Amino acid sequence: MSAARSSGRREFLAASLACAGTAARLLPAVVGPAIVSARALGRENVAAASERLTLGVIGIGPRCTYVLGEMLKFPDVQCVAIADVQASRRDAGKKLVDGHYGNSDCTLYGDFRELLARKDIDCVLIATGDRWHGKASIMAAEAGKDIYCEKPCGLTMAICQQIADTMKKTKRIFQAGTQRRSVPNFIKAVELARAGKLGKLTQLHASVYWPELKNDWLPAEPTPSRDECDWNMWLGIAPWRPYNKSYVAGKWRGQFDFESGAKLLDWAAHTVDLCQWANSADNTTPVEYEAGEDKITCRYANGVSLVLDFLKTPFGDRSPHYNTKLGTCPVTFKGEEGWLSTGDEGGIDFSSESLAATVPEAFKRVRGTDAAAHARNFFDCVKSRSQPVCNGDVMRRSHVASNAAAFSWILGRKLTFDPATESFTTPTGPDAEANGLRSRPERDPFA
């Protein structure tokens, strides 16, 4: 919340209370004593109105329903509006929000631009599909909102760059939904790697889905009414194709037109991000990328290698070397004196008992990917105007690196990358073919 907006709210509430009290003293026979609800004063486990952040939601599906559910628990956050192109999802979102607050105040929109036009909304949760994440974030920042955006944060490398640039220009707070930076076992694993407990780092392993390139169209079906599902708005900047209800139900995943980085960023947005963090590389990326049969090997300028391991088959099954103990999104950090691995389900595994003995038992039993701490970090930063753990610059570098790895797989050859210019090069000049993948044509009127 801006200082001006916060101050205005406090002054308005104080003035309202003062006027009510004055009226009660001057006109006791006409006006009764001022009554201010416990909710407005911050009781009933709800922050005072002057201290609350107002939240709008853009795109509400299964992931958003979970994250929003965590945000609703914060007494200083109030969700006031939901925008979604599908009426069924809008209605389900309103039921969730109004049910939580015990009222019917949540306003619904079919077009999120109407939500962004509201001056009384401080921040937004963006949880559309990949095709809208970046553009909606940029538009929200330009409308004066702070943003919590689910990953992958941009459909292309260029959009991820634009997000970071826009946040600096507009001075908005941005948090990528790569929540594992706020989960204790991942935090501890990175802390150990950066503190030299593994010796000098030599290799980082980031698990990813098997990359996939699909552009087959599902059979055309009658396009529903705009109120039921605004298909044109759903597509956004993506190329037009005929409507099929399976797309809006989730089968857009795996389609190149709708997904970032040939499906690779679904996990890489998390796991590469953690490896970047462990390598103290939030301000850079690897400089070389080379795809193999079941992995992509990258190299940083400091000599550390980053290996993206394909831990899911093209059919979604677990590959034989999938670590079932660690669960989803596992990462491994290797050094000259040992290694550790961690994931969503298995706490932390260590190369030696002596290394394990340096870590409290609590970190070895952590499970799950609770988004509450990550959301709390965002809202605290909205109030303090400090940078959250997955700000625009952090997101930019990890997403750029993940996309560069995907391009190596798409082109089937080794790529050389300059982190300073964020462009691909060859011994004789720019790599036009690889650089051409950094952006895609965007469909009007959303370009």
Per-residue pLDDT at 318? 63
Per-residue pLDDT at 44? 58
Burial of 358 (0-12, 13-18, 19+ CB in 10 A): exposed
Per-residue pLDDT at 382? 98
d(CA 393, CA 401) in angstroms, rounded, equals 12
Helices marked H in 117-209 — which ranges? 130-142, 157-170, 184-194
d(CA 68, CA 97) in angstroms, rounded, equals 9
Provide mean pLDDT across the span 424-439. 98
**Three-state SS string across 287-326, please?**
CEEEECCCEEEEECCCCCEEEEEECECCCCCECCCCCCCC
How confident is the model over 149-174, as pLDDT tens digits?
A: 999 999 999 999 999 999 999 999 99
Per-residue pLDDT at 312? 65
Per-residue pLDDT at 34? 42
Provide mean pLDDT across the span 266-290. 97
Per-residue pLDDT at 447? 87
d(CA 215, CA 386) in angstroms, rounded, equals 41
> Band of the pLDDT at 323, cuts 50, 70, 90?
low
The contacts of residue 298 (CB under 8 Å, 6+ apart) are 286, 288, 289, 290, 305, 306, 307, 308, 401, 404, 405
Q: What architecture does CATH give domain 180-213+260-369+393-438? A: 2-Layer Sandwich (3.30)
Q: Which of residues 13 and 384 earns the better pLDDT score?
A: 384
Q: Whose structure tokens read 């205005």? A: 8
Mean model confidence pLDDT for the chain: 89
pLDDT over 70, % of the chain: 85
Phi, psi of 203 (to 5 degrees): -150, 140
Nearest to 423 by CA among 412, 411, 413, 432: 432
Per-residue pLDDT at 316? 59
Provide mean pLDDT across the span 212-236. 96
Min mean pLDDT across 239-253, 346-360, 399-413 is at 346-360
pTM (predicted TM-score): 0.88
Per-residue pLDDT at 327? 84
Sequence ranges of the domains in the chain: 1-50, 180-213+260-369+393-438
Per-residue pLDDT at 313? 59
Min mean pLDDT across 186-190, 225-229, 325-329, 405-409 is at 325-329
| Statement: residue 95 has pLDDT above 80 | yes
Adjacency order of strands within the sheet including 146-149: 107-109, 77-83, 53-58, 123-126, 146-149, 174-176
CA distances from 28 to 13, 36, 37, 308 (A): 22, 17, 20, 74
Min mean pLDDT across 101-110, 204-213, 320-329 is at 320-329
How many residues belong to the chain? 447
How confident is the model over 4-44, as pLDDT tens digits?
A: 444 443 343 334 333 333 333 333 333 333 444 444 444 45
Per-residue pLDDT at 368? 61
